[in-house]
Amino acid sequence: MIDIHSHILPGLDDGAKIIEDSLEMARQLHQSGFKTLIATPHVMEGSDFLSPEKILAAVAELRKNVAEAEIPVEILPGAENYIFPDLGKWAHQGKLLTLGNTGKYLLMELPMLEIPHYTEQVFFDLQVQGLTPILAHPERNRGLIDRPEYLVEWANKGVLFQLNLRSLSGRYGPQVQELAERMIRSKLIHFVGSDAHRPSQEDTDYLKALRSTKEMTEDDGIREITINNPQAILAGRALPEKREYTLHTLKRKKKRRFWEFF
């Protein structure tokens, strides 16, 4: 399997602090079944901007350490790019790193509490350059929790979505979990990511989350979002299947009132 979103590079952002953290994260993700990890440190405009060159150098160093530690995972470059109005312009200028450095798919992030008014313009600016936007953990965005119809609108325009595996566990709250489940059952999830920032306190965290995801997907759905679609990213090709999207409502079991038991 391929994890398209992790903060495994040490000392670059709010993820791994030291190389020992990075190696433990790699070990845990490998034990959960991941063979390839795309390192996606936060990239923002401003004084803390991380250049592609700095990310590529950090990836090369981590790959060397992972090999010396004999952890059989491949580390590939990427970035989680925080949205701002000129994101498309920066991409055109070569300032942003695509997933796997293939020049085709750009992982991007919205602010957690809102949908900026320029969001769709940024999607368009990227797409006219031949880039496919992948929205990181949309299930955690307050604006999308309140207005999930945007997800269908964007997906039908070619925007793709990455689920945080642990969103299904209730880690980020019940509303996040509900939207994550709705998106999975609606086949609105195209990729998964650990979004790992540090070693997990429990080695089986990601394995449990993957099992929950598998239970909610139909047929080969888990393979599609963990292997087939991520492989398309790394090959720089389009996803194998196009579809018309809708958002299903979850069917909850109706709670029986006390006197109905008699």
- What is the CATH number for 168? 3.20.20.140
Summarised one tens digit per residue, pLDDT across range 133-190 is 999 999 999 999 999 999 999 999 999 999 999 898 888 899 999 999 999 999 999 9
pLDDT band of 35, cuts 50, 70, 90:
very high
Q: Is residue 30 part of a domain?
A: no
pLDDT band of 252, cuts 50, 70, 90:
low
Range of the domain at 148: 79-261
CA–CA–CA angle 50, 105, 216 (5° rounding): 110
What distance in Å separates the CA atoms of residue 60 and residue 48, rounded to the nearest whole number?
21
Q: In what order do the strands lie in the sheet with 74-77?
A: 2-6, 36-39, 74-77
pLDDT band of 204, cuts 50, 70, 90:
confident
Is a pLDDT exceeding 70 seen at residue 251?
no
Q: Is residue 60 part of a domain?
A: no
What distance in Å separates the CA atoms of residue 35 and residue 226, rounded to the nearest whole number?
11
Summarised one tens digit per residue, pLDDT across range 72-116 is 999 999 999 999 999 999 999 999 999 999 999 999 999 999 999
Structural domains in the chain (count): 1
Q: Is residue 124 part of a domain?
A: yes
